Amino acid sequence: MKKHRINNIDQKKDIWLYIDFPLLALDAVLTDTDNTQVESAIAIASLQKNVQRIVCCNNHAQKWGVEPALSLSTALTICPDLLVLSRNHEQEKRLLHSLALIAYQFSPEVIISDRGLWLELSGCDQLFHSYSKLLQRLHRQILSLSATATTGIAMSPLSAQLLCGQKFQYYLPDENEIHRSLMATELFKLPGNQKQKNNFKQLGLESIGDLQALPRSALSQRFSPELIETLVLLNGEKPCTLNRFTPPVEFSDQIQIPQGLYSKDSLLFFMKTLLQRFCLYLSARQCHCRNIVWCFEPLLGKRQSMAITLSGSNNNWPSLLTLSRLRLERLELPQSIDQISLFCDQFIDKPELSFDLFDDQITLDNQSSELIDNLYARLGVEALSQPSMSEEHLPENAGSIGPPNRSAKTNYSTSKAPQPLWLLTEPTRIQQRNKQLYWRQPLTIISGPERLCGNWWQSEQQRDYYLACDSKGARYWVFRESMSKQWFVHGLFA
């Protein structure tokens, strides 16, 4: 039985999914702008060999007869209302990387091509129960980035690309079906120069099946070695050597808003989008972030940035958005914002949590770091502090207030003498009136002294600490400085 299963794994073939984004250039430019333009005919044009040519266009433009590779002047003649946008390679690349991050959730092997993605899917069905469920979810996520996608599935990357159809298919065709359609694919789709294509025509070869039927030795004599290489890749006889996609070590993403944003509330929608992309990235890298930096850039003037420090547990977008919103309240923003960017370069490995069925310890710990993050975001770093202790003799040095440090050392030797819970930030001088100490009220010494010396390398401090109380019963920590013979109050026994 076991042997049988091992054989099965050995025989398992690669399943390559190619996702093509025919309107990538258009989607990249349109994602960040508002949707009102979708109703009109839009095309993307770029300069090719000194002529402005259409790269891609939407359905409305296609109805008018506009098509890729058409020169811009012709396109404008047949469709006078055509809205022409220039191609933005930078944004296309960014969109393709976001799409690759999405794909990375579904398969560990993702390859980025010029206008599409390859995914190796064999074995990935286990997590999603079936290939069709996987494909459905994948498509839904791709649609969330408003990208138009079509797919092809085959046993090798190149054949998957050749079989790429007109729509996103949700079922996995069986091997024979794939083979049949691959053999029927027309030869002009195969990469290669025009001369080679003409040669095929002269030889009466029309489909890949015709080509495959010929002996390899004969083909290698007639055609260039590249064709043989292509056929080897097409049949999956050699493993694919293209570079696999890995998430970058830093996260940086931005959204441009050409129409400008004028209120903090309207910023939140775009911040949400960015955070959702960021969380995809975090889950792909399997890590938590330590801090995130937002940058708000106006068209004119200085840009504003805000950093949010995290204790490490908040890695879902709703809580990151809450923190960003709280922090945003304290920020003075320029009048109109043109571009929002999110940046993160500090990560920690995701802690390996084992969940107990009954214990809610983990949620408790999460809750307190979430609370600290919230307080940080709204009140600022300076509002939060923590008492800390150091091995010093003078009380003001021994106990101080510092920034919260959750891994502070706590095992110190402590004094047996009574110590006050409240310390005055500075010792306050008290008066003496006829053998009587006086601070707000007459004070009486109850116990003491405890002598504390310190600072001997600078100015010698020698203090005798006493416990004093007033007529109402409140107790104070007072000391007499040996040098100046002055009395001071330094703390309260609350």
Partner 1 sequence: MPSKPLLKNLLSRQDTWRGRNRSLRKHVITTGNNSLDRLLLGGWPVSALSELVSQQDGIGELSLLMPTLKRYANEDKLCVWLDPPYQPYAPALVSAGIPLDKLLIVRSKNSREWLWAAEQAIRGNALLFAWSNQTQPRYTDLRKLQLAASDSRSPVFLFSSTAALKASSPALLRIELDALKANVLLITLLKLRGKAPGAKIQVSLGDESTERTELDKLPVNIHYPRLKKADYLLPLKPEVLRLNT
Stretch 366-395 residues interacting with partner 1 (CB under 8 A): 367-368, 370-372, 374-375, 378-379, 382-389, 395
Q: Look-up: residue for tokens 């109109």? A: 336
Question: Would you say 195 or 433 has its CB closer to partner 1?
Answer: 433
Contacting residue, 254, 424, 438, 454, with partner 1 by CB under 8 A: 424
Residue 301 C-beta: closest distance to partner 1, Å: 28
Write 175-178 long-range contacts (CB < 8 A, 24+): 175/13, 178/153, 178/154
Q: What would the x/- binding string for partner 1 be over residues 342 to 371, using CB under 8 A?
A: -------------------x--xx-xx-xx
Q: Look-up: residue for tokens 């808003």? A: 257
* By CB under 8 A, residue 398 contacts partner 1: yes
* By CB under 8 A, residue 246 contacts partner 1: no
Q: Residues binding partner 1: what is the number (CB under 8 A)?
A: 72
User: For residue 471, what are the contacts with CB-CB under 8 A and spacing of at least 6?
Assistant: 441, 442
- Which DSSP letter does residue 493 get? -
* By CB under 8 A, residue 331 contacts partner 1: no
Residue 408 C-beta: closest distance to partner 1, Å: 5
Question: Would you say 238 or 451 has its CB closer to partner 1?
Answer: 451
Residue 375 C-beta: closest distance to partner 1, Å: 6
Tokens describing residue 6? 């091992």
Residue 475 C-beta: closest distance to partner 1, Å: 5
Contacts to partner 1 from residues 429-488, by CB under 8 A: 432, 434-437, 444-449, 451, 460, 462, 464, 466-467, 469, 472-476, 482-483, 485
DSSP letters, 322-376, are: HHHHHHHHTPPPPSSEEEEEEEEEEEEEPP-----SS--HHHHHHHHHHHHHHHH
Residue 406 C-beta: closest distance to partner 1, Å: 5
Rounded to an integer, what distance in angstroms lies between the CA atom of residue 125 and that of residue 106? 9
Residue 83 C-beta: closest distance to partner 1, Å: 47
Question: Would you say 198 or 441 has its CB closer to partner 1?
Answer: 441
Classify residue 83 by burial, with Cβ atoms within 10 Å: 0-12, 13-18, 19+. middle
Q: Look-up: residue for tokens 């390398």? A: 457
Residue 308 C-beta: closest distance to partner 1, Å: 16
The candidate with the shortest Cα–Cα distance to 25, out of 69, 87, 109, 101, is: 87
Residue 422 C-beta: closest distance to partner 1, Å: 4
The candidate with the shortest Cα–Cα distance to 292, out of 362, 373, 349, is: 373
Residue 265's SS3 state is: helix
Q: Which stretch binds partner 1 (CB under 8 A): 82-90, 214-222, 258-266, 396-404?
A: 396-404
Distance linking the first and last C-alpha atoms of the chain: 75
